[in-house]
Chains A and B, each alone.
Chain A
Amino acid sequence: MNSVAFTTFFCYLQVLALLWSIWQSSHLFRSSRTPVTALLYTFALISLLLSDLYWIAYIVIRPETRMPFAVNEIGEWAFFLLLAASLASVFRGGIAGAAREMVLAALFAAASAALWIGWSGEWVQDIITGIVCGYFFCIIVRALRISDILSGREWAVLGFMSFVLIILQGLTFVLPQGVRRIVDACCYVLMFAGIIAFYAKTIREWKRQAQPEALFCLCCTIFAWGESCMYMSVEPMYFAAEIAVTAVIPIMTVSLRKVVVKDDLC
């Protein structure tokens, strides 16, 4: 299988995960007394589904040409914005105490956008993606802060990993070829250690029967971190990050169900 076939295969997997999740969340939306979170979440999933379908259609129709700026990226922006709106609807209230984390998240998104521009040279879409991701990251760290699911040590580790990751990725532009490979390998270790750590944290909190809102927030964090890793990876590591992102979609849906059921009971 070549890389296009692999990418298409993983895209099909994500489509299946999305179809199942849309079915579940639309059912939640229809049956819930407080449907706004499920509604926004359903719209977000539909956006990602359309984005994936666009990608598959493009591969079928124009396999020989590289995709220019196209609406599948806009579909991803829609997903981030609507998921952020869904998460924000769960954690209504002030941002007291989260301002520092939000600034750092915005800086991480800005640095990531600068790196994407360095790699691809696509200024306009990378800047807009950076702004959208920045907003999404800010909502996530605010939700993490309000839910109080991360300890002080975990916050410090997350901040340190993000900082080191950006520095190392930046160094790959200036270092000679031999050293660059080592730095690249370190970046992959950091990125996938982050994914594994977030999964482990989510499973641990799930077993502890943590608040549903916190679990939903952790799932969104896995998605955000996984997407960042995807954007910073080349094949075959890209596929590994994509599996992590795809796997979290059904988990996120189940955690959302817990949130909605709890809201209906309250």
Chain B
Amino acid sequence: MIYAENILLCIAIPLIISCLFTRGATRRFLLSFLTGMGVCLLAAYISGFINAASGMGARDTAIFISPVVEETMKMMPILFYLFLLEPEDDDLILSAAGIGTGFAIYENCCYILSVGAGSMSFIMIRGLAVGVMHIVSVLALAMGLTIFRRFNALSAASIMGALALSMTFHGLYNLLVSQPGITSYIGYILPMLTAVLMYLPYRKLYLREH
């Protein structure tokens, strides 16, 4: 058993202090990072509750329920930021990257503390696959929202559609890596491949605009 709240406090306090001495985009990223960690803890609480209430078992909950809970929780602060503060596209993408990174790093910390850091292959999987997956799914959501907004297509249907798309991506990853063998290797490659596929058009768009 690990004390997830204590780990959160341990990582969060230095970040909160550093927020006091930073400004602009750096502070925004740090706050998003902290939000991502908090959201990760809340998602773990909800998944744990569903696991206990439904009796599905930890493995099935991780495969079938966690993607829905985690993606919904990651979307909440993004939607809050988007509709209440109406940020620029770049600021929204930056915040989404912060939320995804905070979520991934906090989840990795908890896993490594509970399982141990002895296996290099496990560490690489946590870093290159799971970590990247959380960032990719939330960035895809944020990029989708910015594109919809830019073309006046931001509606309840398109937002829910984008959320459902990120849930499906996350769920597919969790299913693929749930079984050892060739499917798990495909699962491990999936987030990095998607990150590259997303980065190329984003970079092209960014260079065109700046």
| Binary contact track A32-63/B, C-beta < 8 Å → 1, others 0 | 00011001100110110011011001101110
On whether A78 and B161 interact (CB within 8 A), knowing A43-B144, A68-B60, the answer reads: yes
Residue from A35, A62, A74, A77 in contact with B171 in the complex, judged by beta carbons closer than 8 Å: A74
**A119 interface contact, C-beta 8 A:** no
Alpha-carbon distance A39/B183, docked complex (angstroms): 30
Interface hits, B128-185 → A, CB 8 Å: 144, 147-148, 151-153, 155, 157-158, 160-165, 167-172, 175-176, 178-179, 183
Would you call A36 and B151 a contact (CB within 8 A)?
Answer: yes
Q: Which of A6-14, A81-89, A108-116 contacts B (4 or more CB under 8 A)?
A: A81-89
On whether A82 and B168 interact (CB within 8 A), knowing A40-B153, A61-B183, the answer reads: no
Chain A residues with Cβ below 8 Å from B148 are 40
Q: Which of chain B's residues has its CB closest to A92's CB?
A: B152
**B64 interface contact, C-beta 8 A:** yes
Q: Which of chain B's residues has its CB closest to A70's CB?
A: B64
The number of chain A residues with a CB under 8 A from chain B is 34
On whether A81 and B172 interact (CB within 8 A), knowing A61-B179, A68-B60, A71-B167, the answer reads: no
**B34 interface contact, C-beta 8 A:** no
A73 CB, nearest partner CB in chain B, Å: 9
Would you call A54 and B160 a contact (CB within 8 A)?
Answer: no
On whether A85 and B157 interact (CB within 8 A), knowing A39-B147, A74-B164, the answer reads: yes
On whether A47 and B170 interact (CB within 8 A), knowing A61-B179, A68-B60, the answer reads: no
Chain A residues with Cβ below 8 Å from B163 are 78
Chain A residues with Cβ below 8 Å from B160 are 77-78, 81
Would you call B153 and A57 a contact (CB within 8 A)?
Answer: no
**A135 interface contact, C-beta 8 A:** yes
**A202 interface contact, C-beta 8 A:** no
**B30 interface contact, C-beta 8 A:** no
Alpha-carbon distance A229/B178, docked complex (angstroms): 33
**A69 interface contact, C-beta 8 A:** yes
On whether A71 and B151 interact (CB within 8 A), knowing A78-B161, A85-B161, the answer reads: no
Would you call B60 and A43 a contact (CB within 8 A)?
Answer: no
Would you call B171 and A70 a contact (CB within 8 A)?
Answer: yes
Would you call A81 and B168 a contact (CB within 8 A)?
Answer: no
On whether A50 and B151 interact (CB within 8 A), knowing A57-B176, A77-B164, A82-B161, the answer reads: no
A228 CB, nearest partner CB in chain B, Å: 19
30 contacts between A and B (CB under 8 A): A36-B151, A36-B152, A40-B158, A47-B165, A47-B168, A50-B169, A53-B172, A54-B168, A54-B172, A57-B172, A57-B176, A58-B175, A60-B183, A61-B176, A61-B178, A61-B179, A62-B179, A69-B64, A70-B175, A71-B64, A71-B170, A71-B172, A72-B171, A74-B168, A75-B165, A77-B160, A77-B161, A78-B160, A82-B165, A84-B157
For the complex of A and B, the 4 pairs showing the least CB-CB separation, nearest first, are A71-B171, A78-B164, A82-B161, A75-B168
Given A71-B64, A75-B167, 8 more pairs with CB closer than 8 A = A44-B161, A57-B172, A61-B178, A71-B68, A72-B171, A74-B168, A75-B168, A77-B160
